[in-house]
Amino acid sequence: MKILLLNAGSSSLKATLAESTDGRTIAHCIADWAGPVTRYRYVGPGGKSDSAELAASGHAEALTRFLVDLTSREPIALPTRAALWAVGHRVVHGGPFTASVRITPEVRERIRALNDVAPLHNPPSLDTLTAAEGQLPDVPHIAVFDTAFHATMPPEAYTYPVPQRWTREWGIRRYGFHGLSHAYCSRRAAEMLRRPLAELRLVICHLGHGCSASAVHHGRCIDTTMGFTPLEGLMMATRCGSIDPSIALYVQKHQRLNTAEVEFALNRASGLLGVSGVSGDMRQVLAAARQGNEGARLALAIYSRRVRQAIGALTVTMGGIDALVFTAGVGEHGAEVRESICEGLQCLGLHLAASNANASPDVDVARPEAAARILVVQTREDIIMLDDVIRVLGEDNPIGGPD
């Protein structure tokens, strides 16, 4: 039986059709409408691919196109929709959920209640869920939460030093995000190092449009940089990361910005975009910096400094490090950024090799004699999603087959 995995972004949709028995990817697509046109790429069985510009944009339209391609484009990936066992949905903020669950009306409403604390992420997930349920009403839909991997953090890591009522009654705490990526990269790092995950101390740096780092100690997340929302922590493409909270109060009081304006500024107009004045796209910021743009150079310096500081803090939390892992768009492809981040980390036994300049994942880019390894790993959130969907289905139906 086949499982459809949906990963919705604010202006994109990644979709994968996987085989439940062996985890094999049968077909996948990405639709992106962040620019002036919707760009769509489909890769079918055997790696046969096709790219197009679509007139429509949105999660429903992208999902419709993917389902049409699956069932009609040669070679056929999905002979009939009846061959689908389930649909898995990546949900960024799971709040109180610490494991994947089958989606019910109650679960949907609990996810919706978190829209305000994950405004860039949970609404697109719900839009995609609505579209998927409309087109695939007869299969179970499973929510796989990015926050679940971080549920192993101890109280001293997830508790904020705020009034107890905020924590106990209002649920204010550190949740952490990008958990599917951190979980996969932890597992993959152990495979690459040929060591049990249960004996490793790993710092995972997920550096994409959103950025986060985590300390994975003996297979369990014990700390991470993102917090109550995906806004805290590292500097990101358009998000500010950690700042003095009084800044938000100040601009509201003295510059007369309202809550919506502050929320927009911190989530959508800060980070690389805000500092450089060029773009939130790391590739464009790097190009501008090479041409002498001082705003771009400053943005890169802040970005690297903050990631480096996080690596140091997380390493100390674990009492040492066995491997540093770079993943996601910038982490996987930004050799220049990796080099900048690693400058100064030699004190932790992290020595970057010259091979970093031309590295492609999955690879070790540390010098042979270094005490700790530096890995570049292609993240595979879909693999963790697939595992969780199968687990939930197995719990719902112990014989292990479709309902």
Strand partners, 7: 14
pLDDT of residue 234: 98
For helices 335-342 and 282-290, the axis angle rounded to 10 degrees is: 80
Which position has the token pair 């499982």? 3
pLDDT of residue 15: 96
Closest C-alpha to 16, from 381, 308, 340, 301: 381
Is residue 170 left, alpha or beta, with left meaning phi > 0 and alpha meaning psi from -120 to 50? alpha
pLDDT of residue 12: 87
* Euclidean distance between CA atoms 307 and 156, whole angstroms: 22
The structure tokens listed for 262 are 């502050």
pLDDT of residue 400: 37
Q: Which residues of the chain have pLDDT under 50?
A: 398-403
What secondary structure, in 3-state letters, does the chain show? CEEEEEEEECCEEEEEEEECCCCCEEEEEEEECCCCCEEEEEECHHHCEEEEEECCCCHHHHHHHHHHHHHHCCCCCCCCHHHEEEEEEEECCCCCCCCCEECCHHHHHHHHCCHHHCCCCHHHHHHHHHHHHHHCCCCCEEEEECCHHHHHCCHHHHCCCCCHHHHHCCCCCCCCCCHHHHHHHHHHHHHHHCCCHHHCEEEEEEECCCEEEEEEECCEEEEECCCCCCCCCCCCCCCCCCCCCHHHHHHHHHCCCCHHHHHHHHHHCCHHHHHHCCCCCHHHHHHHHHCCCHHHHHHHHHHHHHHHHHHHHHHHHHCCCCEEEEEHHHHHHCHHHHHHHHCCHHHHCCCECHHHHHCCCCEECECCCCCCEEEECCCCHHHHHHHHHHHHHHHHCCCCCCC
* Euclidean distance between CA atoms 253 and 247, whole angstroms: 10
In this structure, how many other beta carbons lie within 10 angstroms of the beta carbon of residue 163?
A: 11
pLDDT tens digits, one per residue of 7-29? 998 788 999 999 988 889 999 99
Q: Would strands 84-91 and 2-9 be described as parallel, antiparallel, or unpaired?
A: parallel
The catalytic site residues sit at 146
Could you tell me the maximum CA-CA distance found in the chain, to the nearest angstrom?
63
Distances (CA, A) of 133 to 32, 56, 62, 189, 279: 21, 20, 14, 36, 36
In this structure, how many other beta carbons lie within 10 angstroms of the beta carbon of residue 373?
A: 22
pLDDT of residue 81: 86
Closest C-alpha to 188, from 323, 33, 318, 46: 323
pLDDT tens digits, one per residue of 182-239? 999 999 999 999 999 999 999 999 999 999 999 999 999 999 999 999 999 999 999 9
Q: What are phi and psi of 175, to 5 degrees?
A: -105, -40
Contact yes or no for 61/68 (Cβ under 8 A): no
pLDDT of residue 403: 37
The structure tokens listed for 124 are 């697109």
Contact yes or no for 337/310 (Cβ under 8 A): no
pLDDT of residue 116: 87
pLDDT of residue 397: 53
